[in-house]
A and B are shown apart, each in its own frame.
Chain A
């Protein structure tokens, strides 16, 4: 910012005063729900699906699909911000809070590494996924979460850029050390705060 450069002839049509302070810098609002992923959409049958909690924990945990759905669930409405510049407001989700999954787990981990079908990974500080800030979402807009959008279940951490909300999540690894994930290894920011426009390394 602040280079002083002006794009000749560009006026900009799309200021969004109605959004107040809800639009992070460099983002634009969309009504669509764009799909972004690096490879084919995995199709794991629910009979084979499970969610595991592993790593620096006293005892690993595992939930089958039925066990996962039996956990206390929450519905919540949040804004989401993709590093490719779109933001989507008031999205409605249903999911299980990470606080619920971690309830009673003895650990001294500083980080959570999400591992997904298809090989995708992403890393987050533990304080960014606890305290009501993160869920494993299985419902969107009153419907089961569509595979293109990460179904049957995805991580949802709406206060960070959306690549941190890993689709098709299967394993949550608690770690004492930070381990850059898929996009973080490829030049994207390690933390990814949209309000600080932390898109890429060094931002």
Chain B
């Protein structure tokens, strides 16, 4: 287990909200410009802090969706109905507002082109967000590292970045494979169940290819996928996990 140390201290930045994009009924992307930002690695996250007029504050962590950039940062936020922070970010925040954040945080669940591959990304729901940063980084760098994304969504309309994934998947080196666990559109020919051993045996590279694996999603998905990959013979040290639980908000 090794990573790259973050130098110095993480100070709070006041970001400008330049655009908000409704991705799905439950997720919104915030396009931010962050003066003083020094870039990030794909897969890292930020802490967001909200402050009410009486001084009350609330903080949460959100994965960065965008490829590394000198001052632009995109966050994709899933609205949790009983949450305190996410409904503000998805429903209230608008262009022209400012947002306090600090980061980047978390240097282990991170991928650079130099880390190589094959790159196997497995995500569930909004767990796709840090994986998307990796795919965007791969595309921006013109990398030919073989990559596969297995992405579990509840339904077709809940697939985040659907159109962009279709475009990126046209690249010879990247396969995008969806599974829809609750509802399928008529004529859906793809996977239609939770990710399981048979699915992983079919779509993951064999262990001898030593793929570098990133798994992000709800705890049940992450636990199932990580332990199944180990059972299939993949080296635990090549599997990196990040969890998105129902708590937070």
Contacts and interface: CB of A to CB of B under 8 A. Distances in A.
A84 interface: yes
Contacts of A203: 9-10
B230 interface: yes
B80 interface: no
A7 B10 contact: no
A200 B7 CA distance: 10
Given A26-B57, A120-B1, A41 B52 contact: no
B219 A187 contact: no
A131 interface: no
Contacts of B226: 39-41
Contact of B1 (A6, A10, A38, A86): A38
Interface in A159-203: 182, 185-187, 199-203
A12 B56 contact: yes
A9 interface: yes
27 contacts: A1-B57, A7-B51, A7-B88, A7-B100, A10-B51, A12-B50, A12-B56, A13-B84, A26-B57, A32-B247, A35-B245, A36-B243, A38-B241, A39-B1, A39-B226, A39-B240, A84-B61, A85-B61, A86-B248, A120-B1, A186-B3, A186-B6, A200-B9, A201-B6, A202-B8, A202-B9, A203-B10
A7 B236 CA distance: 42
B109 interface: yes
Please tell me the size bucket of the interface on A: 35 or more
Contacts of A42: 236
Interface of A: 1, 3, 5-15, 26, 28, 30, 32, 34-43, 84-86, 118-120, 148, 182, 185-187, 199-203
Interface of B: 1, 3-6, 8-10, 12, 14, 47, 49-53, 56-61, 84, 88, 92, 97-100, 102, 105-109, 219, 222-223, 226-227, 229-230, 236-237, 239-241, 243, 245-249
Contacts of A119: 1, 237
B219 A35 contact: yes
Contacts of B52: 6-7, 10-12
B217 to A, nearest CB: 12
B58 A187 contact: no
Nearest to A35: B219
B6 A187 contact: yes
Nearest to B245: A34
A74 to B, nearest CB: 28
Contacts of A28: 58, 84, 249
Contacts of B5: 185-187
A186 B107 contact: yes
A64 B14 CA distance: 53
B245 to A, nearest CB: 4
Contacts of B102: 200
A201 B241 contact: no
Contacts of B240: 38-39
A39 B247 contact: no
A36 B47 CA distance: 16
Given A12-B58, A187-B5, 14 more contacts: A3-B12, A5-B51, A6-B51, A8-B98, A12-B57, A26-B59, A34-B247, A40-B230, A40-B239, A185-B5, A186-B108, A187-B105, A199-B47, A201-B8
